[in-house]
Amino acid sequence: MKAMEEKIRKEGKVFPGHILKVGSFLNHQLDTAFLMEVGREIADLYKNERIDKVVTIETSGVAVAFAAAVELNVPVVYAKKHKSANLPPDLYSAIVHSFTHNTDYTVYISKDFLHPGEKVLIVDDFLAVGNALNGLMEIVGQAGAETVGIATAIEKGFQGGGDAIRAKGIRVESMAIIDEMTDSDIIFRPQDR
């Protein structure tokens, strides 16, 4: 999505340690018109699939997931984060390792909101090593639902998480894939669209 690449070039800020800050439009301030455009793009990419539900993870996944789900006309369910692994039995849960903070946390979704046979599109703001997305796929599997695909706003291609998921045969669409990132330049992976 050219508009995402342009937005990152214009507003993104690169910090040491391969940190890309996009708080001006994606995960602190939300550029609503732009995110609705992203939602339309995601819906269009998956228009030939049956999607019953969009699943994401709090907090920064919620806005882009909501925009995509509005366009797909389906509900969102967002996984919540918890420090403890001790959770009540009415929840699906998975342990996720945070690469950024070097800690583990638990993500969970109530059993009331994911059901066997449902077709799920997983949406998130960032895809780096892919731990959060793998946790969400694990939860979708626990529910007996199916991950139809994944859509992310920004994939850090150089961290390999997206390609590892693609290698398992799961469709991953990222609005922009960053293959290299330095203080002075961002190199995007060419995509057909």
By CB under 8 A, tell whether 33 contacts a second copy.
Answer: yes
| Subset of residues 8 to 27 that bind a second copy, contact rule: CB under 8 A | 23-24
Cα(193)–Cα(190) distance, rounded to whole angstroms?
Answer: 9
Cα(62)–Cα(65) distance, rounded to whole angstroms?
Answer: 5
By CB under 8 A, tell whether 110 contacts a second copy.
Answer: yes
* Interface segment toward a second copy; rule CB under 8 A; list 68-76, 127-135, 148-156, 165-173: 68-76
Return left, alpha or beta for 73; rule: phi > 0 is left, psi -120 to 50 is alpha, else beta: left
- In the complex, the smallest distance separating the C-beta of residue 133 from a second copy, rounded to whole angstroms, is 18
Q: Which of 139, 138, 131, 124 is closest to 172 using CA atoms?
A: 124
Whose tokens are 């006309």? That residue is 73
DSSP 88: -
By CB under 8 A, tell whether 29 contacts a second copy.
Answer: yes
Contact with a second copy (CB under 8 A): which of 73, 86, 102, 184? Answer: 73
Q: Enumerate the β-bridge partners of residue 92.
A: 109
CB closer to a second copy out of 74 and 177: 74
Would you tell me which residues interact with a second copy (CB under 8 A)?
A: 23-24, 28-33, 35-36, 58-59, 62-63, 66-67, 69-70, 73-78, 80, 109-110, 112-113
